[in-house]
Amino acid sequence: MPKLLSSKQVVKILENNGFIFISQKGSHLKFRKSEIKSKTAIVPTGRKEIPMGTLHSIIRQAHLSKEDFRI
């Protein structure tokens, strides 16, 4: 079974890949990476373990690979 990541770990990975915090609405953080094409990722806060489906959605939004998240 793959290791589940916490919200803090996901935020750290996004920041290490050039994403910056944009805003927060309720329990969700918005991160953006400005390049030629703007990439936005939404991360739920305060989670000890982010469900695998949610993590895959974050990976897809960020246009990163699973290897970046070590899953």
Token pair for 53: 């489906």
Distance CA 63, CA 37 (A): 11
pTM assigned to the model: 0.86
Q: What is the pLDDT of residues 12-64, one digit of tens each?
A: 999 999 999 999 999 999 999 877 567 899 999 988 999 999 999 999 999 99
Rg of the chain's alpha carbons, rounded to an integer? 11
Distance CA 25, CA 14 (A): 18
How many other C-beta atoms are found inside a 10 Å radius of the C-beta of residue 36?
Answer: 4
In the chain, where are the structural domains located? 7-32+46-69
Residue 1 in this model has a pLDDT that exceeds 60: no
